[in-house]
Structure 1
Amino acid sequence: MNPATTFLSCDWGTSSFRLRLVEREGLKILAEESSKEGNAATAELWKQAGQPPEQRVGFYLAIVQGHLKKLEEAVKTSLDGVPVVISGMASSTIGMEELPYKPLPFATDGSDLSAKIMEPTADFKHATLLISGVKSDDDVMRGEETQLVGCQFENTAEQQLFLHPGTHAKHVLVQHGQAVALKTYMTGEFFSLLSKQAILAASVAEGGQLEEGANRQWFEKGVQDSQQDNLLHNAFLVRTNDLLMKASKPENFFYLSGLLIGSECHDLLGSLPASITLAGEPVLLAHYGAALRVLGIADKCPVTTKTAVEVTLHGQSAVLQHSRINQQKA
């Protein structure tokens, strides 16, 4: 496999691991592997192993190597020398090596993100680019900075918004080719806690789709209600909807989702950007897109959606292009 025309994309989150062999031109995925070997689980295994600190990077790369072998079996050729680009939580306290956050602003073309190059070794025959996260004065992100680069924002004076839904949703303002401001919303984590561990857990049921039955109606009602009353009061309505048989448990699931996403997006009404790029998993893109329409935001500024895979590959490719690894190959 030609290292000058391919790279290995490693998207290593807290709870998941994804490795893809990618053609640089066109970013076609040639083969991929995934597992639940996220950084949290790997960090726990590292603690149990009791190895000295200097072996930590090698311990983590051994996991990458195991998936690399499966990719080699899939494509029936050696991948020795193909560079690896790693983004996500691998540069955090639970990752292979903690790297300092880059302070805002940063260039949206990926030219100045903080990253560390790890040279090939006898055990791991790949130059590795480990991308670090970004911080503001009071907020941080790891992984989303690479995805923001992958959105390929225009260099314009107008404020554009990068919105990444998830456990900790990120809102990043982009202006003049720079990411300049960052806000995190714990929307996904609050939803998980309320729907699984709070008293509301008995009043919701997961498993349906937004377009099934009255789910969309209840989701949109949640978004609308989120604009009228305090979230702490609205959340209790999830319980009374069930007790008073106003909504089924699956419908209540979408009502709670609408309440939380609507509460998050309420901030946008006070200061609308010129455009919004939604980037993430398809299910969440559908929910956020629906919420932005209900709030009238989508009528006032264009909303573009991009998948998490798409922006991750574009972002990693851009950072690799600007790195010394790419210059060495050239």
Structure 2
Amino acid sequence: MTKQNADWIAVDWGTSTLRAWLMAADGTVLERRRSDSGMGALAHAEFEPALLALIGDALSCDRVIPVVCCGMVGSRQGWAEAPYASVPCAPPGIAQATQVAGSDPRIAAFILPGIKQNSPADVMRGEETQIAGVLAADPDFDGILCLPGTHTKWVHISAGEIVSFRTFMTGEMFALLSGQSVLRHSVAAEGWDEDAFENAVSDAMSRPERVAAALFSLRAETLLNGLSGASARACLSGLLIGTELAAARPYWLGQAVRIVGAEAIAAPYLAALQAQAADVTAIADEEITLRGLMRAYATLPETVE
């Protein structure tokens, strides 16, 4: 597609990755682009140049192109801080966005805010746009969304609003334990043992107070009984997810749960919840964030300066 075809640009700017979609006004994706210029690698003055390096050739000198952004780009360490909206609230749109006063006159950049919860203290940035994407597809959804990732979110949705949420550092703990602890000698980088995973989930949910000891047992089982790296990986995942499910029980027990995320990361949560007879389905939509950005763009005033 030629650059003249882009009516606006959708941007998902996380800690490690910058993703952009060149969009037509009717929601057609003209082109997908990606770079490693995530927020974590950039100083404040480097954000606009990083964006222009990715999309600059798609801009026009004849008109201003709106750029709708979500994610860590709106954090205190990002391009411009987009203050948090407070629960209960609908996923924030353009009306709550921060417009960035950049130096390039060809773009008008809008950064969507994250969401905060004062008690218990919690925050999200980027996930609120995924939630907006879910509600764009199903405005009447009432129930629980599970957004697995480095920091997994459990979110209560009712009447189109985010009522409450909780964040679990399960993904980060898995990465730290499998890559930097003594368990790095036992846990394989790939492979899976479904039975080992299900047993570990059950053990952790039944006896969460024993999980710290069970974690070290993975190392001992490797040394003494030949536990395979794939089984150790599945056990580690099961112990951590089981502990998370035990703590998140008020969210999922007796509720309709939808897991939103890539299949590889959503599948263990789906299996763990199904084993608890939960009412759960998975939405494997890698562009759910884009749907949320499209929902925000739809409320953009016709005249953008």
Q: Normalising by the residue count of structure 1, what TM-score does the alignment of the two structures yield?
A: 0.81
SS at 2:42's partner residue? helix
How far the C-alpha of 1:112 sits from its partner, in A, is 7.5
How far the C-alpha of 1:40 sits from its partner, in A, is 0.8
Shift in alpha-carbon separation, 1:255–1:118, aligned structure 2, 3 A: same
The equivalent residue for 1:220 is 198
Identity among equivalent positions (%) equals 30
* Whole-Å separation in 2 of the counterparts to 1:222 and 1:113: 46
How far the C-alpha of 1:71 sits from its partner, in A, is 5.6
The equivalent residue for 1:53 is none
Shift in alpha-carbon separation, 1:87–1:282, aligned structure 2, 3 A: same
Shift in alpha-carbon separation, 1:261–1:62, aligned structure 2, 3 A: same
Unpaired segments of 5 or more residues in structure 1?
47-55
Within the candidate set 270, 283, 288, 1:305 is matched to: 283
Q: How does 1:19-98 map to 2 (within 5 A)?
A: 19-25=20-26, 27-43=27-43, 46=44, 56=45, 59-69=46-56, 81-98=64-81
Letter in 1 for 2:100: M
Letter in 1 for 2:219: R
Q: How does 1:110-259 map to 2 (within 5 A)?
A: 110-111=92-93, 114-118=96-100, 123-137=104-118, 138-152=121-135, 153-155=138-140, 159-208=142-191, 210=192, 215-229=193-207, 230=209, 231-259=211-239
Shift in alpha-carbon separation, 1:79–1:88, aligned structure 2, 3 A: farther
On the 8 A contact 1:277/1:306 being kept in 2, the answer is no
Letter in 2 for 1:260: L
Letter in 1 for 2:31: A
Q: Normalising by the residue count of structure 2, what TM-score does the alignment of the two structures yield?
A: 0.87
* Whole-Å separation in 2 of the counterparts to 1:269 and 1:85: 35
How far the C-alpha of 1:247 sits from its partner, in A, is 2.2
Q: Alpha-carbon deviations, 1:246-283, whole Å to 9, x = none?
A: 52012211110111112112234445253212112221
Shift in alpha-carbon separation, 1:70–1:236, aligned structure 2, 3 A: farther
SS at 2:107's partner residue? coil
Matched residue count:
296
Shift in alpha-carbon separation, 1:323–1:295, aligned structure 2, 3 A: same
1:318 aligns to 2:263 (yes or no):
no
On the 8 A contact 1:106/1:112 being kept in 2, the answer is no
The equivalent residue for 1:277 is 258
How far the C-alpha of 1:187 sits from its partner, in A, is 0.4
Unpaired segments of 5 or more residues in structure 2?
none
Letter in 2 for 1:14: T
On the 8 A contact 1:132/1:142 being kept in 2, the answer is yes
The equivalent residue for 1:18 is 19
* Whole-Å separation in 2 of the counterparts to 1:4 and 1:83: 13
SS at 2:287's partner residue? helix
How far the C-alpha of 1:96 sits from its partner, in A, is 0.5
Letter in 1 for 2:53: G
* Whole-Å separation in 2 of the counterparts to 1:24 and 1:258: 44
On the 8 A contact 1:85/1:131 being kept in 2, the answer is yes
On the 8 A contact 1:33/1:70 being kept in 2, the answer is no
SS at 1:135's partner residue? strand
Aligned-pair RMSD on alpha carbons?
Answer: 2.6
How far the C-alpha of 1:191 sits from its partner, in A, is 0.6
Q: Alpha-carbon deviations, 1:24-47, whole Å to 9, x = none?
A: 53x44321221221101013xx5x
